[in-house]
Structure 1
Amino acid sequence: MNVEHIYTTRILNAVISPLAKIMIKAYIITALLLLSLQTTFCQMKEIKGDTAFLYKKNIELQKALELKDFEKSTDEFNFRFRDHGQVIEISKDSTKYNGAITNYIYHTKKANRNKSEILSDKIILSQKQAENIYNVVQSSRILDLQSDNIIANWKRGFDGITYIIEHTDRKNYWFKSYWTPDAQDSIPEAIVVLELIKNLADTLNLQKIYSSFQDDLPKKGCYNSGGMANMCYVSNSLDLGYSGATKLPLGFYSSYSAGYIGKTKINGSTVLQYNFDNDGFHHLNFQISKWNIFYQNANLSDFMAYNYQNRILNIDEIKSKFENHQIKYGLNLKKNIGVGIGLDYIAHNYNKIGGHLYGYKWFSKPNFSTSLTASLFDNQLNYKGEILKSFNFNYKSSINRISLGIAYEDFIDYKDLYFNIRVLL
């Protein structure tokens, strides 16, 4: 290769290299413009229907549940039906069908808390299932219906249930809402909506699917599917505190109650209280209980409890040891009243069995409770009465409640005054 050829090649490379860079930039800009035009085209669907209020909330839920954006979809047909807690979604493009069922629910981790989260799961439909739903929709008149705000004589209210229906083709997006169609006095359009609801539910077995979704939810906090009703589980609670007495000034109190642990229903509680002094005397009180055994409603529930007590007491300067085994069955009645009956067995040197009675009353406005237990052995009456005053804190506090208690006990002529302070965490 001669010098002239080398020089010419270098000149060509110097010219072509900038041209190549310019061409690459031009290709990139063209591609971005085409993509932008495509996106703009997808967003240019004409929106029809009731977009005054529910439309905005629907967009928020759509994002939270990661639903398909119908306004940007290029599919031939999209359809979405939303009930409280459930969304059915199908799409058709040429001969392909796809769809999904999305179950969702609003969850507040603790009662009286205002911060909630959305729990959801998604079930992908087979192509055949999606096609079946497509045929159900097409055979109904739902696509031709106006939103309920345009339908003559369609009533609206604040409770009830509002069904949301969305559907699109490649040019138009329809957003429709229908408030409580079964309360519309046989308006023809309401019958169309009701028939669609029934056909969708029957074809996909929606109630069973949603019940299965609810069964797998954590058994704590409160749940709401979007309507007026809340379903709350009794929160598991832990009480810790100090317990003392005039003769046994040292000690502690602890209790734990649980409706569920994981997915296992417990409906039970345990209590451990221990009082002692520096001279070797003590009183151990341990109780386990189970509630809602045979009855569970607002007016009547039941419980069963076993109580073990171990005492070493100073009675007339004699170190005396006692063991009690108590078992009782009781009912919680209206007006915050509880009653129970059972047996009390004193072991060791006494070996006596007596009757055991229990009574309880909670006063809601002053927020305090009273309880009385009594056991009768021949001519010996043992009893203990307690008053407990509670102070509740708002939901922002890390402490839910502080309770102050005072109790008086007469046990085989051993009399003592107990006092405690408990913190509910």
Structure 2
Amino acid sequence: MKHFTILVLSFLYINAFAQNKEIKGDTAFVYEYYKEFAEELQLTNFSTSQNDFSFRLWNLGHVVELVVHNDSVSAQLVNYIYRFNRKDTKRDTISSKIQLDSAKALSFYQIITHSGILDLPSDNQIEGWAQGLDGITYNIEYANSKTQWFKNYWTPTAQKSLPEALFVINFLEQVFDSLDLETYNAAFKEQLPHRGCYTFGEGLIHCYAMSVISIGYYGSTKLPFGYEVSKYFGKIGKLRTNIGIMFSHQFDRFNNCDISIYTLKNLLIKKHKYFLAYNYRIRKLNFIENENTLTNHKVYSGLQVNNNLNFLIGFDYLIANQDQWGLSFIANQSISKIDIDLFGKASLFQDRLDYQIGANKYLSIKNISTTFGLEYEQFMDFRNLKFSLSVGI
């Protein structure tokens, strides 16, 4: 029991000591942000680690970390990027972690120790180092068992011939060349889904445009053959239109068919997004008792409720043996983090509810936008499970 008590007290002492490391350098502005971001990326906690030496270099889109403990040297590279939709305020972090081989880790360690970068103060303590709002800031962190340092270097290439800036540039070139960081980062960006917008966090934003045309298979358990074609008209000539049109046709070998034309118009009014939509659908189905040809005319208006949820409401006029009017609804929920859209459609008539529920999964396969869809529909006494696969052209 005595030994156990000593062990616990020793652990508490070490932990308390580690939490009270002296922090030096420029911690006035971005230190807390990078501390939290390092935790999000599951990097080493420099404030508590008891490694002999730890070092991190932050650059736009990647961070490389080195750890020395008991004469063992290891290093890892984390590529990262922020992703969001055009109207989103919330962004998701996409990251990829790579364990560097021992040769690269040792080379990185030698560059750090031989370059003298550890002796260079942060840019706010260097006379003549200019500051700005754009450009690229390189952040350096390092720590031993007692002390932690955090330093910033804003755009060394903009410092003219300042000796300290040239020193930082030389250090960065050695690290980038030795670890081949650009190759790793290019491979990371290549595998990103070509959908939505991306940024490294300092102004530059790259957005992938929606595929102008997509075409693919669209079938179901009851109507196994079919296709769909959609086209988005951002502009017609110089006129901005923001209109999308989708045509689909399903059929079987027994003259049953389902044809649909759907159009959607986007409107941006005082920074709010609204929709107008029309859907024409004609079905010839021997599956439905006492009915043969059925035609729907649906008209909708709606709005973007929040960044990922759209809702439309309108009416559905059904032409059949007995014509009917009903209320119609569409809801669409986008889950951008996993590239899935969930949707539901419903028409409420006096004696029944017709509805569709489904999901679309978006992928980028060899830079080709690909969409997989699964949908269940109940219409009168007709039930159907639908499948789709389309590619952007």
Q: State the TM bucket, normalised to the shorter chain.
A: 0.5 to 0.7
Alignment of 1:112 with 2:16, yes or no, is no
The 1:74/1:228 distance shift into structure 2, 3 A limit, reads same
In 2, the alpha carbon distance for the partners of 1:40 and 1:368 equals: 58
After superposition, the Cα gap between the structure-2 partners of 1:332 and 1:212, relative to the gap in structure 1 and judged at 3 Å, is farther
- Aligned match of 2:229: 288
Match of 1:146 in 2: 121
1:100 aligns with 2:76: yes
Structure 1: segments with no counterpart, 5+ residues: 1-23, 236-258, 260-265, 273-285, 292-300, 303-330, 339-361, 370-387, 405-420
Residue in 2 that maps onto 1:71: 47
Q: Does 1:124 align with 2:99?
A: yes
Change over 3 Å in CA distance of 1:268–1:401 after alignment to 2 = farther
Looking at structure 2, the residues matched to 95 and 397 of structure 1 have their Cα atoms a distance apart, in angstroms, of: 50
Between the two structures, name the one with larger relative contact order (CA 8 Å, sep ≥ 6): 2
Please state how far the C-alpha of 1:141 moved relative to its aligned partner.
Answer: 2.7
1:336 aligns with 2:277: no
Q: TM-score with structure 2 length normalisation?
A: 0.58
- SS of the counterpart of 1:119? strand
Q: Does 1:197 pair with 2:168?
A: no
Residue of structure 1 in register with 2:304 after alignment: 393
CA displacement at 1:368 relative to structure 2: 10
Q: Distance in 1 between matches of 2:12 and 2:52?
A: 21
1:171-202 CA deviation, whole Å, 9 max, x = no partner?
A: 32110011111111221111111122222111
Structure 2 counterparts to residues 371-386 of structure 1, below 5 A: none
Does residue 213 in structure 1 map to residue 124 in structure 2? Answer: no
Residues 403 and 150 from structure 1, CA distance in 2 versus in 1: closer, same or farther, beyond 3 angstroms? farther
Letter paired with 1:89: E
CA contact (8 A) 1:80 1:87 kept: yes
Counterparts of 1:169 and 1:364, CA distance in 2: 54
Compute the RMSD of aligned alpha carbons.
4.0
Which residue of 2 is the match for residue 82 of structure 1?
Answer: 58
Equivalent-residue separation in structure 2 for 1:95 and 1:31 (angstroms): 25
Q: CA deviation at 1:397?
A: 6.6
* Offset, 1:332: 5.8
The reply to whether residue 228 of structure 1 matches residue 169 of structure 2 is no
- 1:173 is aligned to 148
TM-score (norm 1): 0.54
Structure 2: where are the runs of 5+ without partners?
A: 219-226, 243-265, 277-298, 316-327, 333-393
Q: Distance in 2 between matches of 1:234 and 1:390?
A: 24
Q: Give the number of the structure whose alpha-carbon radius of gyration is greater.
A: 1
Letter in 2 for 1:131: L
Summarize deviations over 1:93-122 as a string: whole Å, max 9, x none.
3532101001111222x3312222222111
Residues 248-279 of structure 1, C-alpha deviation per residue, up to 9 Å, x if partnerless? xxxxxxxxxxx3xxxxxx85258x9xxxxxxx
**Corresponding residue SS for 2:83:** strand
Residues 81, 89 of structure 1: 8 Å contact kept: yes
Q: 1:155 & 1:400 partners in 2: Cα distance? A: 50
Q: How many angstroms apart in 2 are the aligned matches of 1:400 and 1:222?
A: 23
- 1:35 is aligned, of 8, 11, 30, to 11
How many residue pairs are counted as aligned between the two chains? 272
